[in-house]
């Protein structure tokens, strides 16, 4: 067996599991522990901060130790923090303790992301990087399915056996902790030791390096329209990301669909992620065949118009699981299609001098405008305007923002055909 196949799948499984725990499993946990939508979206929105600001400490990580060392250290730290989280949940300080530990896991996970992606480049030849990109993305998504699908279902099954909510989630996070610690132990032997993986040792040049990247980024052509596109394209999806899981789980009286953890894990955590992955694959094929310029508007419509399924679900409040699953699957396929066009634009915008560093800035801005800030205010907005029904209608209105920034953006020449 190719040695690369012995570590690429597990490396990206280890990258996605902590993200799923912090940004996805926490939503269900806090909803079941009795927090309001406003509290849940605000608290978990802040947990996304490390992924926004990770370009700030990326040069520092490069200058201290090897990427292999950081990967192993972060996996061990995440595993230990998840175990502490499990023991914190049954206590009276469960909220303060869980938020602090989730933030620690988030910073560790963001650092792991920096090093894992860098290690992938260092340990593989260019042709191998292209060959295995599909494999790494697939196992990243498998980690998401395992996190927000299988592990949420595990919590639900434990609750069905009359285990308390805090204890069921303690067991679930202990399971995630065990997985991360096993991955760390495995990677101690499985990860190669490429000669190029060494600390740069240029700690004094970190500020200069960061300043140069800023200069390159902010002197890009058509910067204003590019920034508007990067920050606002995903606004409707950013509002939906945290509210849809809460809507699916809230009771009928609260305006939700009353899915239990097992149903939620299957519908949103499994089928939804499969739809997202499938949409991304099809979107990539369409752009490669017809070019981004021709496919941009069809893919924009794909990421916005299917959001209307949640308007219908909020009015119908159907109890048909197949129908709910079909609606979620359709919306997630559309999300995957549209997100492909968005990602390819970020890649093309980053081409040129310091492309890797510029791309990290792009991803930070897209997470800030398309995930973190909309997610933080989504619960407050829903509560202020009267619940899920008006909220989903307002989200459809915000699709006009996506249309506006798409109309303004300039497609780079190399992406037009």
The confidence score (pLDDT) of residue 251 equals 94
Q: How far, CA to CA in Å, does 148 sit from each of 72, 87, 115, 156, 230?
A: 24, 20, 24, 12, 27
The confidence score (pLDDT) of residue 205 equals 58
Nearest to 9 by CA among 107, 181, 143, 160: 143
The confidence score (pLDDT) of residue 204 equals 45
Q: With contact defined as beta carbons under 8 Å apart, do 287 and 344 qualify?
A: yes
Q: Count of residues for the chain? A: 417
Chunked into runs of 10 residues, the chain (417 residues) has average pLDDT values of 81 92 92 94 92 80 83 96 96 94 95 84 75 76 87 92 93 95 94 77 59 82 89 92 93 94 91 88 84 88 95 95 95 90 81 74 86 92 94 96 92 59
Nearest to 275 by CA among 218, 337, 332, 322: 332
Domains assigned to the chain: 1-191 (1.20.1250.20), 206-417 (1.20.1250.20)
| Rounded (to 5) percent helix, strand, coil in the chain | 85, 0, 15
Say what the alpha-carbon torsion angle 25, 27, 31, 34 is, to the nearest 10 degrees.
100
């Amino acid at each position: 067996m190719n040695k690369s196949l012995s570590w690429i799948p597990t490396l990206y499984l280890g990258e996605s599991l902590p993200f799923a725990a912090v940004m996805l499993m926490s939503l269900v946990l806090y909803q079941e522990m009795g927090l309001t939508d406003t509290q849940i979206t605000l608290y978990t929105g802040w947990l996304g901060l490390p992924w926004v600001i990770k370009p700030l400490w990326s040069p520092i990580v490069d200058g201290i130790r090897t990427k292999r060392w950081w990967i192993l250290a972060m996996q061990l730290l995440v595993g230990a923090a998840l175990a502490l989280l499990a023991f914190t949940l049954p206590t009276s300080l469960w909220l303060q303790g869980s938020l602090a530990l989730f933030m620690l896991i988030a910073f560790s996970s963001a650092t792991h992301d920096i090093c894992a992606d860098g290690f992938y480049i260092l340990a593989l030849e260019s042709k191998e990087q292209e060959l295995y990109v599909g494999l790494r993305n697939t196992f990243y998504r498998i980690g998401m399915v395992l996190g927000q699908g299988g592990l949420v279902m595990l919590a639900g099954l434990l609750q069905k056996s009359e285990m308390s909510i805090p204890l069921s989630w303690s067991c679930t996070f202990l399971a995630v902790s065990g997985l991360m610690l096993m991955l760390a132990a495995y990677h101690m032997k499985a990860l190669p030791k490429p000669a190029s993986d060494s600390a740069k040792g240029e700690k004094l040049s970190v500020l200069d390096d960061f300043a140069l990247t800023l200069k390159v980024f902010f002197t890009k052509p058509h910067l204003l329209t590019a920034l508007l596109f990067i920050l606002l394209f995903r606004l409707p999806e950013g509002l939906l990301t945290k509210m849809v899981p809460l809507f699916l789980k809230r009771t009928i009286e609260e305006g939700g669909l009353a899915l239990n953890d097992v149903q939620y894990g299957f519908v949103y955590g499994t089928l939804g992620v499969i739809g997202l992955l499938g949409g991304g694959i099809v979107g990539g094929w369409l752009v490669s065949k017809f070019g981004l310029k021709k496919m941009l508007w069809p893919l924009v419509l794909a990421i916005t118009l299917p959001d209307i399924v949640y308007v219908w679900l909020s009015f119908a409040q159907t109890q048909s699981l197949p129908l709910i699953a079909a609606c979620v699957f359709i919306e997630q396929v559309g999300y995957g299609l549209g997100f492909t066009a968005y990602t390819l634009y970020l890649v093309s915008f980053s081409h040129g001098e310091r492309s890797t560093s510029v791309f990290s800035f792009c991803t930070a801005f897209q997470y800030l405008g398309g995930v973190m800030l909309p997610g933080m205010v989504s619960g407050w907005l829903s509560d202020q305007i009267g619940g899920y029904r008006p909220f989903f209608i307002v989200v459809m209105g915000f699709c006009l923002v996506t249309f506006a920034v798409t109309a303004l953006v300039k497609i780079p020449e190399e992406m037009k055909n």
